[in-house]
Amino acid sequence: MITGICYGIVASTKTRVRCVFCGVYIPKASKCIEEHINGAKHKENMELVYENGISYDSSRGLYCKLCATSFEGSIVQHLEMDDHANYIATLEDLTDGEYIHVDAFLAGQTDVAFCSTCQVTIPCTLHNIEAHVNEDFHIMETLKPLNGLFSVDNPLELWCKVCDVYIDNTTPGVLEHSEDDDHHVNWFKKMEPYTANNGISIGNYLTHEFENKVYCLRCKAEILCNTESIDYHIQTDAHMSAEPHHSEISDLQIPPD
């Protein structure tokens, strides 16, 4: 018989069990329990549990680690409360585009977030995450793979692949070059129509120092990274007749390896 907290199924009476995540009672028969846990409603509620820091134990009952409180009744009703909704919204804002992973934290598997850019764990509170994303090292490590910036023998410098110039290996140097250098900014402006509307991915080009090609998601083809070659490719019959790829949005934010 399938029971256990991982499914939300706990004993109730001699003839029934209870699903604490769905708030229903089920006849104490393997077939009935299996039908419930395989049902769409239960699976939907389990997704909410894993995505929102909800757990259950016999001492606390239903517990939300984000709100640090036990609660009764519907999971959905709790998730709609202002405190919980605001926490989730703030967490999403802080982690969006920052390569900070909180899925394991929300699923109750750990108490830390993981930054894949800096390769560090962070005690998972809003304050700690906000402090981390504002650190100079994180800002630099996040911007480097998005802008084609690479370390060189001289630790005081970085090489910009896009512009073929050396810049200061400091947060102000990286920010000034990536946001204010005309050549750098214009290169990305020239690439935007290709990445946004034509399925051209520039992620590998930016993140790999010796890569000289971009990739067409529609045609599954590599193209030399220059506007002449890309223009020629997107005007071919094969490209124009190919189905748009589901990822045809700007891919400038590419996770680091």
Side-chain-side CA neighbours of residue 174 (13 Å): 22
Distance from C-alpha of 83 to C-alpha of 31, rounded to nearest angstrom: 39
Sketch the domain layout of the chain as residue ranges: 9-74, 82-134, 138-241
What kind and span of H or E run contains 175? Answer: helix 171-180
pLDDT of residue 12: 83
Side-chain-side CA neighbours of residue 146 (13 Å): 22
145 CB-contact burial (10 Å; exposed 0-12 / middle 13-18 / buried 19+): buried
Residue 243 DSSP symbol: P
pLDDT of residue 254: 43
43 CB-contact burial (10 Å; exposed 0-12 / middle 13-18 / buried 19+): exposed
Mapping DSSP onto H, E and C, the string for 145-164 reads HHHCEEECCCCCEEEECCCC
pLDDT of residue 257: 38
How confident is the model over 8-46, as pLDDT tens digits? 898 888 899 999 999 999 999 999 999 999 999 999 999
Amino acid at 174: V
pLDDT of residue 1: 43
pLDDT of residue 174: 96
Strand partners, 5: none
pLDDT of residue 8: 86
Which residue ranges in the chain fall short of pLDDT 70?
A: 1-6, 247-257
pLDDT of residue 167: 97
Q: Whole-number mean pLDDT of the chain?
A: 91
Strand partners, 114: 101, 121
